[in-house]
Amino acid sequence: KQPSRELRILILGLDNAGKTTVLRVLASEQDEIKNTTPTQGFNVKSVHSQGFKLNIWDIGGQRTIRPYWKHYFEGTDVLIFVVDSADMMRMDETGEELSELLQEHKLAGVPLLVFANKQDLDLAMPPDEIAEKFQLTSLTDRRWQIQPCSALRGEGIQEGMDWMAKNVS
Ligand code: GDP
């Protein structure tokens, strides 16, 4: 059996967006998962999915930690950005953070998977509206996808990973 290709995945988003819950869903789909204990709000999980070994870097999303995001950009194969679709109060802030990420040189051309999370909530903004608000439709320098999901219910995550597997270079 061929060893699976390793991918470096960065999972970002504001605090409370659901990053940890997404990771938990990914991890629950298989037996073994390695968890490096968080130092100052980041941890790396290795999960096997779609014939890949995914090394997923989960960095804290709190405002004070966001300046450190850039130290983890180098060598990223796929960027996953998790949005709390029901957090209207912080939708602008979320869009600004994403937009700044998309301007980073070290992330140029890296495929973007946006999880429009918490779609189980009545107030959740639909994915097409989020895509429009974040101006994803005008992105021409990378592949992108917005995937509605409920990490809490485990819905939509696998579909996102399917897209990722097909679109990683
Ligand atoms: P993180 O700070 O981005 O890692 O966010 P967490 O994964 O810790 O989730 C923050 C809160 O949102 C927790 O209370 C989760 O249970 C909740 N949460 C995460 N995903 C969902 C979802 O799909 N639906 C709902 N309703 N709550 C969610």
**H or E segment at 60?**
none
**Cβ atoms 115, 82 nearer than 8 A:** yes
User: Distance from CA of residue 34 to its chain's centroid?
Assistant: 19
pLDDT at 135: 96
**In a 10 Å sphere around its CB, with 0-12 CB exposed, 13-18 middle and 19+ buried, how is residue 70 labelled?**
middle
**Which residues of the chain carry a pLDDT beneath 50?**
31-33, 36-39
Mutate to test the pocket of ligand 1, among 11, 15, 16, 23 (most ligand atoms within 8 A of CB): 16
164: helix, coil or strand? Answer: helix
Distance in Å, CA 84 to ligand 1 centroid: 8
Query: What does the pLDDT read at residue 40?
Result: 55
Report which of 58, 60, 62 is spatially closest to residue 8, judged by C-alpha positions. 58
Q: pLDDT value at position 33?
A: 45
Question: Tens digit of pLDDT for each residue in 63-74?
Answer: 787 788 888 899
167 is in an annotated binding site: no
Q: How far is the CA of 161 from the centre of ligand 1 (A)?
A: 19
**How high is the ipTM of this complex?**
0.99
Instruction: Assess whether the C-beta atom of 16 lies below 6 angstroms from ligand 1.
Output: yes
79 forms bridges with which residues in the sheet? 10, 112
What does residue 166 show for φ and ψ, rounded to 5 degrees? -80, -20
118 lines ligand 1 (CB under 6 A): yes
Cβ of 18 closer than 6 Å to ligand 1, yes or no, is: yes
Quote the ligand 1 centre to 152 CA distance (angstroms).
7
Look at residue 62 and give its three-state secondary structure. Answer: coil
Catalytically active residues, by annotation: 62
Give the model's pLDDT for residue 30. 54
Report the alpha-carbon distance of residue 21 to residue 89 in Å, rounded. 21
* 114 bridge partner residues: 81, 146
Question: pTM of the full predicted structure?
Answer: 0.91
Atom of ligand 1 nearest to the CA of 14: 3
